Structure 1
């Protein structure tokens, strides 16, 4: 994406792509019972579709990072978006839980390449000193998915059935393909000639990419950060039900508060650019640690639960943005591989986080799980502080 294209059409189609991916990632949970009933199955069996999506995304993002694909970002996104639309349609037409799981696995296989490409395209040609702001506008798509996509999908499922949800997402995916087709040929990198995917010269190996200054600490921080988040977030609704008897609708309002904070935080990224990412990063991680410590008492009443969820969304947006931004600065030739590894770690944490912290939640309680999440991000803050000179 050229600098003059970093505004409306380019950035907004990348944001829309994230919104579609995010909506597909989150939408099955609130409609799980409806899907299971219609497919004559159980919620546990249907939930395997979520696992299939996450596993495929983690695997293909790693393979994508290591591959020598010679496609432009525009081509990767157009092909990925087309497959996304087709298998979202397939999800709507599923007749058994394993049909849905296979469709979601195919979608995950595309998302593993699309996500790092979208992040790369957003950061590669951002105007000088505006990388955080530009990336923040794209990452806002996750907040839009939480604030609008998931509640709207639940409403559609109630009115027209769960299949209509995937039909609508398929339509939005097709719309993104039309937008991706208008991206410049050189959208993947500043040094890239028309029609070529990456900067000139041979692509570095995995070892060479990991040897980039500060890369390994950033990926370690990503693992700690995402494990802390995904270890708690899936249990938020359960905690609210246990603590205050919250219904699904009331829990959904708390999720909306989180999504609102996540989306609005994109407007703060200009300040992060001015203050400097390496200065802000350890502070944001410590703030997240404080939020995790405060979640057990905050979730015993609805008002503080809403406030805590909003602040959690704000801090999480800034933290995710900083991890991606700092990884993207490890060098043009290494950027795609490192962003692919970021996606691998993120989706791998969907399994690791609930497994580790879920055990604590079941055996000791929510406070123990929150304490573990806080410990993870405090450790990440220590790494960020000691290695800040590398960034």
Structure 2
């Protein structure tokens, strides 16, 4: 395979992550506009994030096996087309339930597109360069946060929120074309990875780490769903103003990612415990931080930076435990993550309604601190 062909594939996979990230995070800073337009409350619109998460979780377990059967070119391009159709459907929503259904359709697409993108990135990587290529593809998340979400807030303020989904839908359709053109002929057949679901969960350390991932992700997505609206209320911000704090989060996340690509500390138990404790402190810090814009901006960036460190450590550790069952374990990881995308906003909704952003971040801090304590207390297989 030529150098140019390989980088065209990596670019298409990177764009797929940007498309997924743009849909996943775009609703946070514009909850108020969308809920006002649909004649409902922000909590109902946040349930669209939950619908997206639930559908992604189910899809990643049920449909991602098609990747081996049909090949990545067909599966990933069709998934990107479905994501584009779901986003265009979201732009036509006349009721919050319509938006929830459209986002559930987007979840079905992402449940195949995201794990498939990661697996394909590993398959097209030169031997020994997998970590570098996957790391490059993963920076699509930071790009969608740093540029995509603030851009969505800007578009919402000047043209309306429906235009945001028209733009992301068009992007997804363009990504589908790029995936189809660049990935034809690539095969992912890896018999060694075909380990049963129950067998993967019996590998020492895997089930415990997946439980940690669930707590960590529930805290994150539960907070992130109400983060933009909570800061808007606390600091009297516009949609564009709220987008700047999502930008700060993405900036911190991206900087940590660049740092890890050059210097990655070993993911020891003490390293993970320290990262989780610092994240819990970051959640608690929102109580005073949300009263001053500059402090809130700094706390957003620190939150992003620490989350990149913790997420990286969790994924590296899971892969280390999984050994030859990495494909199956990462599929379960994806499902667990998106169950948390569903559970987080749903569970935190009543807390937000009763106590605002502070109630949500206090609960998130408690969950992450409990995860750190569990990790410290349990003897995990190495």
TM surpasses 0.5: yes
Equivalent residue, structure 1, for 2:268: 278
1:1-391 alignment to 2 at 5 Å? 8-32=7-31, 34-35=33-34, 41-43=39-41, 47-64=46-63, 70-94=69-93, 96-123=95-122, 133-181=132-180, 182-183=182-183, 185-186=185-186, 195=187, 197-200=188-191, 203-273=194-264, 275-278=265-268, 280-331=271-322, 334-360=325-351, 363=354, 367=358, 369-384=360-375, 390-391=381-382
- Which string of whole-angstrom CA distances, capped at 9 and with x for unpartnered residues, describes residues 167-212 of structure 1? 22122112222332213644xxxxxxxx4x3312582211111122
Question: d(CA) in 1 for partners of 2:54 and 2:309?
Answer: 26
* Uncovered stretches (5+) of structure 1, i.e. residues with no partner: 187-194
Deviates more, 1:137-146 or 1:61-70: 61-70
- Pairwise CA distance, 1:238: 4.4
Question: d(CA) in 1 for partners of 2:133 and 2:375?
Answer: 22
Deviates more, 1:324-333 or 1:300-309: 324-333
Deviates more, 1:152-161 or 1:354-363: 354-363
Cα gap change, 1:65 to 1:183, in 2 (>3 Å): closer
8 Å contact 2:206–2:322 — kept in the other structure? no
Question: d(CA) in 1 for partners of 2:12 and 2:34?
Answer: 30
8 Å contact 1:119–1:339 — kept in the other structure? no
Cα gap change, 1:373 to 1:89, in 2 (>3 Å): closer
Paired positions, count: 379
Question: d(CA) in 1 for partners of 2:60 and 2:196?
Answer: 15
8 Å contact 2:50–2:344 — kept in the other structure? no
8 Å contact 2:205–2:381 — kept in the other structure? yes
8 Å contact 2:60–2:112 — kept in the other structure? yes
Question: d(CA) in 1 for partners of 2:35 and 2:360?
Answer: 29
Q: Which has the higher helix share?
A: 2
* Aligned-pair Cα RMSD in Å: 3.4
Instruction: Give the TM-score taking structure 2 as reference length.
Output: 0.84
* Uncovered stretches (5+) of structure 2, i.e. residues with no partner: none
- Pairwise CA distance, 1:48: 4.7
8 Å contact 2:28–2:224 — kept in the other structure? no
- Pairwise CA distance, 1:390: 3.3
Deviates more, 1:325-334 or 1:289-298: 325-334
8 Å contact 1:123–1:131 — kept in the other structure? yes
